[in-house]
Structure 1
Amino acid sequence: MGDQLTHPSSWFSKTAEEIREIGDADGSILLVPIGSVEQHGTHLPVGTDTLLASAVAMRGASLVSDLPVVVVPPIWSGYSPHHLHFGGTLTLSFETALAAVTDIVSSALENGFDSVLLVNGHGGNGPLVGAAVSEIGAAHPDVEATGITYFSLAEPFVDDVRDSDAGGMAHGGEFETSLMLHCYPELVREDGRSEATPLDEPYEHGDDDLIEPGPLSVYRPFEAYSSSGSIGDPDLATAEKGRELFDRLGVELESILRAVAEHVRTE
């Protein structure tokens, strides 16, 4: 939350007049982190997805300080009914989550922004973000509406960083744990890492990894995959890997932001 209060691009840190000035600027972008509050095993906090989505959004904004960009406070609850068994999870219904995202974005767009980019941090929010982009775009035809799940940005370079095999970067695995060790090391419980379960997806076309989702959508409560709530190889996570992942994710997000700004300026 500290970055949300002090970051130069934070909505929280600005006056209403400053937000309107940025929104009215040519090529302005509204950046919206969307996370969840859900269990992440015994070694990561329930706010992991929200914390990381917000951190990556702020990193991207830092790299485009020359552009008119504002990052709104993270939408911290998403769609996570499959995690309820383990406790600690705060979920919305799909309909309520979609309404929350679209209402928040619609009110923010009243400040004149040319575009909005939703930055999602939870795999279960994927369909939600896709639906929100369509709803926002239909309701605001003059606004460029886009969305991304931040960890999908790692696909081109993740093999340069990882030590785990496919499945090791699943829920609470090497990827998320490394990022948390870099961004929020004080929140990682070292004694819980070894309790993660290897990913065992029975369908060949199901998910191989957090970074490599399969084409087949499957619903199961999370306890069907893991007795601890985490999947993958968090024991292989390091702060050094987290720093490299974080920096390279920022560069990928920067590329998207610059492309969006250029596009809306030429429209």
Structure 2
Amino acid sequence: MHLSEATWTDAADAETDLALLPVGSTEQHGPHAPLGTDASTAKAVAEAASEAYDGEVVVAPAIPVGVAEEHRHFTGTLWVSPDTFRAYVRETVASLAFHGWDRVIVVNGHGGNVPALGEVCATISRHDAANAVPYTWFEGVGDQRTDMGHGGPLETALLRWIEPDLVREDRIEEAREGAAERWGEWVSRVNLAVDSAEFTENGVVGDPGEGSAKRGEELLALASAALVELMEAIEGREYDTRKR
């Protein structure tokens, strides 16, 4: 059940304690992919998993702005501080839990959100009337995750499968020519770059030309299957209800 499409009476009839909360970002993804890529992909993975799951689950509306100041040099990028992001996620989970959906998986589509999500989900599970775990979709695609990049093969492939009209196919070559080979500027296993503009001319990392729609279909299947496995584990897990 998608909360944004349901009525309150539909929601009241839901017989589950499990919810998915997609979170993404509004940030540059090169000249060929939309600013809303991360929210779109997180939402698509959550929806696919909810359809494949053998049980009822509530899917909350996606949170579209995240921790993305590293892309600030590229027009259209929006960001909030980690503190604001953590607070927003925590309070959203609290409102889900108020209605009885107190086992929440935060389905993430943006790498910059990962540290804050790990922290806030731990805080929720320790101290609030809910249990929350983070799941980042591109960590659930097996060995393909090594091709992640940014606006590169994986994101472009998934977009070509779920939202093909949003990919500017006539700009793929431009995206490829201005792309970096890897994320960051590394010395002694330390990334010296603070912002993406320091190492990529147009915001892209990796070759988006390698991201076919067929690959996107496979990625969605892998990411959603991994999420379903996590959903089954969360639904069946016994939690210590004593909050410390």
Q: Deviation string for 1:89-117 (max 9, x for gaps)? A: 11111111111111111112110124111
Assess if the C-alpha contact under 8 Å between 1:115 and 1:264 holds in 2.
no
CA deviations 1:213-256 (Å, max 9, x no partner) are xxx67651110120111110111111011111111211111111
Residues 75/217 of structure 1: CA separation in 2 closer, same or farther (3 Å cut) = farther
1:203 aligned to 2:186? yes
Matched, 1:238 2:212: yes
Q: Distance in 2 between matches of 1:137 and 1:266?
A: 10
Cα distance change, pair 61–247 in 1 and its aligned pair in 2 (3 A): same
Equivalent-residue separation in structure 2 for 1:50 and 1:73 (angstroms): 10
Q: Quote the Cα distance in structure 1 between the aligned partners of 2:188 and 2:56.
A: 41
2:2 counterpart of 1:10: yes
- Deviation digits for residues 105-156 of structure 1 (CA, Å, limit 9, x no counterpart): 1112110124111011100000111122022223325x332111111001x2
Match of 1:63 among 46, 52, 61: 52
Equivalent residue runs for 1:245-264 within 5 Å:
245-264=219-238
Q: Distance in 1 between matches of 2:49 and 2:229?
A: 9
Aligned residues: 237
SS of alignment partner, residue 116 of structure 1: strand
Structure 1 CA distance, aligned partners of 2:188 and 2:166?
34
Contact 1:33-1:54 at 8 Å conserved across structures = yes
Secondary structure of the 1:86 match is coil
The answer to whether 1:226 aligns with 2:212 is no
Distance 1:39 1:266, change over 3 A: same
Task: Tell me the distance in 2 between the aligned counterparts of 1:199 and 1:246.
Answer: 23
**Number of the residue aligned with 2:132:** 145
TM-score (norm 2): 0.89
- Does the 8 A contact of 2:138 with 2:148 survive in 1? no
Flag the 1:240–1:105 CA change in 2: closer, same or farther, 3 A.
same
- Post-superposition offset of 1:204: 6.7
Using the alignment, how far apart are the partners of 1:139 and 1:20 within structure 2? 26
SS in 2 for 1:85: coil
Comparing 110-119 with 216-225, greater Cα deviation is found at 216-225
**Equivalent residue number for residue 169 of structure 2:** 190
Match of 1:19 in 2: 11
Provide the rounded CA distance (Å) in 2 between the counterparts of 1:81 and 1:251.
31
Distance 2:180 2:228 in 1: 34
Cα deviation for residue 15 of structure 1 reads 2.3
Q: Unmatched 5+ residue regions in structure 2?
A: none
Give how far 1:202 is off. Answer: 4.1
Distance 1:259 1:218 in 2: 38
Q: Whole-Å Cα distance in 2 between the matches of residues 205 and 240 of structure 1?
A: 38
* Equivalent pair of 2:184/2:191 in contact (CA under 8 Å): no
Cα distance in 1, alignment partners of residues 52 and 210 from structure 2: 29
**Mapping of residues 36-185 of structure 1, within 5 Å:** 36-64=25-53, 66-141=54-129, 143-154=130-141, 156-158=142-144, 168-185=147-164
* TM-score, length of structure 1 as denominator length: 0.82
